[in-house]
Amino acid sequence: MTKNETVQIMAILTAAYPRFYDKQTEADKLAAARLWYRHFGNVDYGTMLQAVDAVISTNKFPPTISEINEKLDLLLGGGEEMSELEAWARVRKALCNSGYNYVEEYEKLPEPLRRIVGDAHQLHEWAMMDEATVNSVIASNFQRTYRAKAETEKQRAYLPERRQAYLLEHTAAIALADA
**Helix intervals (H) in the chain:** 3-16, 18-21, 26-40, 45-56, 65-75, 84-96, 102-108, 111-117, 120-128, 131-133, 139-157, 161-178
Q: Which domains does the chain have, with CATH numbers?
A: 3-75 (1.10.8), 84-178 (no CATH)
CB environment 10-34: b (16+ within 10 A), e (fewer): beebbebbeeebeeeeeeeeeebbe
CA-based nearest residue to 69, from 161, 155, 165: 155
What letter represents residue 175's amino acid? A
User: Which band of pLDDT confidence, cut at 50, 70 and 90, is reported for residue 72?
Assistant: confident
pTM of the predicted structure, to 2 decimals: 0.53
pLDDT tens figures, 146-168: 999 888 877 776 666 666 666 66
Cα 67 to the chain's mean position, in Å?
Answer: 14
Question: Which pLDDT value is given to residue 97?
Answer: 84
Question: Which pLDDT value is given to residue 70?
Answer: 87
Question: Which pLDDT value is given to residue 42?
Answer: 86
Higher-confidence residue of 173 and 83: namely: 83
Could you give phi then psi for residue 76, rounded to 5 degrees? -95, 5
Q: How far apart are CA 89 and CA 86, in angstroms?
A: 5
